[in-house]
Amino acid sequence: MQQLFEGALRAARPHLAACTPLRPTRQARAQQMPRGMALVRATAAGAAAGDPSGKEALVKSDVGDPAQAQAIPGPSSPASQASSSAQGGNSDYGNVASLQDLPEYPRTFVIRRLFVFLGIVVGYSCYYLTRNSLTYTAPVMVSDPALKMDITQVGSLTSLFPIAYGFSKFVSGVLGARTSPTLMLAGGLMATAAVNLLFGAGNAMPWFMTFWAINGILQGFGGPCCARILTTWFATKERGTYWGMWNIAHNLGGFLAPIVAGTAARMYGWKYGMWVPGATGLAVGALLLLFVRDSPEVVGYPPVETVQAKPKEKDGSDAPKESLVSLLLNNVLKNPFIWGMAFTYFFVYVVRQGVTSWFVFYLIKAKGVADAGSAAFRVSGLELGGLFGSLLAGRISDSLIASKPKGGNVGKRVQVVMGYMVGVAAMLAAFYFTPSSMPQLQWATVFMIGFFLYGPQMLIGLCGAELVGPESVGASEGFLGWIAYLGAANAGIPLSIIVKNYGWEAYFVSLGVACAMALLLLAPMANLKSFVQRSEGGKRKLKAA
């Protein structure tokens, strides 16, 4: 290994001599040029000299060696953070434009990114915990004679929330383009946790309605922030896999809510059903501020992949940033493919909400299932199937991108969504024809409906994020989420009217039509390129000219 290292350095020395000297950081001056910096520069020079064996030796001996991890400026080092902030964030990597230019990610980056990823998964799960706390506390509230509440008043609270939430998702996504996503993620969680605590401190219906509406507004902060963080820490070739893994936060939070809120309310009273999730959210929000960062550049690394360069003025200075209204109009609302994704999301959410809201009633009214408990068991596989479906959908889309790098990356994800929507339609038909005497088969069919349904729900959001520039990811996710919840709203009263006037057969036909409309909208986008691909294509045209 020593001989390989010395040979690689000898081969790289002529090229290193011609390189522009790096401006040393405090850490570099203290350690007289850390070995990790020299290795990164030698790696690039060895590759240019056609010395792949020397390059591999350098990478294996240093970048991949945990004992040498401190040689590369780590995100936990205050000196390296101060240096990277002063010098543009990636000066320690010389002329490396992005981490994609290295043979493999530095080990310190992988570890740092893991903490960021775990942070957004746990953080968004806690958003679901403070969002669903009322669902599992409300039965105890109704049984409390001091409150004098009935189910109608609980229904008013649950109807108020999605209206505020859908609007908030759109507004927070737009405003978040100029705000740190980490600060919004942690701050929003701590704020919604505080609202849960205040909700539990009241005893009157106006108090409950006020704070539950505020909770709906604050809940919209979580999703767009996580989308922005994911797109900056994960490159296109791997993003689908990690986006799918992050998506399990929905299932994890939904799983924890009845355990945490329901158990606390049942054992200690309804107030604790709100206070325990609130206290949990405050603690997790504080941890997010410690471990999550907006992007690799903030902690001294190059970006994971190159993006469009910032526009320049004639004198070479950076052009002023676009206004929020300009970002929304030019990058989101004027993009016809974003509208196509949004309307696809609308129909996906019609199916999703239509399934979750009406399957139990269908089993009781049309299939003759004895009681709500038995019907609930038969549809209990929906979330579990969704967990596996979203994980696999992201992985499949990444594999398609890796196998055919020349095609449109967004289009490959769209192709996966189209395949999944065909699966949803097929499983809906299978559920309709499955007799009630086969409860296990009904459960398995619902599991597969969840499997195929949650894949498109996850991937459409990812497609929307990859269609726009980095500054517009939050606005795109907010706009898509707003349209999606309009679709969810249309699965309530409209479907109930269809069932009442035309029967359950018309209900299933309506869900099938929603699947067909989604496929029709997706068809023109089957070869769509991402923002990064379009930016790279524009750069190549400029060079050719």
Query: How many beta carbons lie within 10 A of that of residue 435, not counting itself?
Result: 10
Phi, psi of 238 (to 5 degrees): -120, -5
CA distance 195 to 164: 14
pLDDT for res 90: 47
pLDDT for res 541: 53
pLDDT for res 92: 58
Phi, psi of 312 (to 5 degrees): -115, 150
Q: Are 282 and 126 in contact (CB under 8 A)?
A: no
Q: Are 520 and 379 in contact (CB under 8 A)?
A: no
pLDDT for res 538: 56
Q: For residue 144, what are its two tokens?
A: 């409390």
Would the pLDDT of 178 be above 80? no
CA distance 218 to 293: 20
Mean pLDDT on 32-38: 42
pLDDT for res 447: 93
pLDDT for res 38: 44
pLDDT for res 323: 63
Task: Give Rg (Cα) of the chain.
Answer: 26
Would the pLDDT of 19 be above 60? no
Q: For the chain, give the mean pLDDT.
A: 78
Phi, psi of 318 (to 5 degrees): -65, 135
Contact residues for 358 (Cβ-Cβ < 8 A; gap 6+): 491, 495, 496, 499, 507
- Kindly report, residue by residue over 510-527, the tens digit of the pLDDT: 999 999 999 999 999 999
Would the pLDDT of 446 be above 70? yes
> Per-residue confidence at 27, pLDDT binned at 50, 70, 90?
very low
Q: For residue 284, what are its two tokens?
A: 């997790």
Name which residue leads in pLDDT, 244 or 50. 244
pLDDT for res 12: 44
In the chain, % of residues over pLDDT 70: 76
- Kindly report, residue by residue over 454-477, the tens digit of the pLDDT: 999 889 988 888 888 777 777 787
> Per-residue confidence at 419, pLDDT binned at 50, 70, 90?
very high
Q: In degrees to the nearest 10, what's the CA dihedral of 228, 231, 234, 236?
A: 170
CA distance 484 to 424: 17
Query: How many beta carbons lie within 10 A of that of residue 262, not counting itself?
Result: 18
Alpha carbon distance, N-terminus to C-terminus of the chain: 46
CA distance 434 to 413: 31
Among 47-51, 353-357, 413-417, top mean pLDDT goes to 413-417
Question: Could you tell me which residues are beta bridge partners of residue 312?
Answer: 318
pLDDT for res 379: 82
Sign of CA dihedral 431, 432, 434, 436: positive
Name which residue leads in pLDDT, 313 or 64. 313
pLDDT for res 29: 40
List alpha helices for 434-503, DSSP H.
439-467, 473-489, 493-502
Q: For residue 421, what are its two tokens?
A: 């929507």
Report which of 401, 75, 121 is spatially closest to residue 235, judged by C-alpha positions: 401
> Per-residue confidence at 214, pLDDT binned at 50, 70, 90?
very high
- Kindly report, residue by residue over 83-139, the tens digit of the pLDDT: 333 333 444 566 777 887 788 888 999 999 999 999 999 999 999 899 888 878 888
- Kindly report, residue by residue over 343-393, the tens digit of the pLDDT: 999 999 999 888 887 888 888 888 888 776 677 778 878 878 888 898 899
Name which residue leads in pLDDT, 506 or 176. 506
**Axis-axis angle for helices 107-131, 181-200 (nearest 10):** 30
Sign of CA dihedral 56, 61, 65, 70: negative
Q: Are 194 and 143 in contact (CB under 8 A)?
A: no
pLDDT for res 23: 41
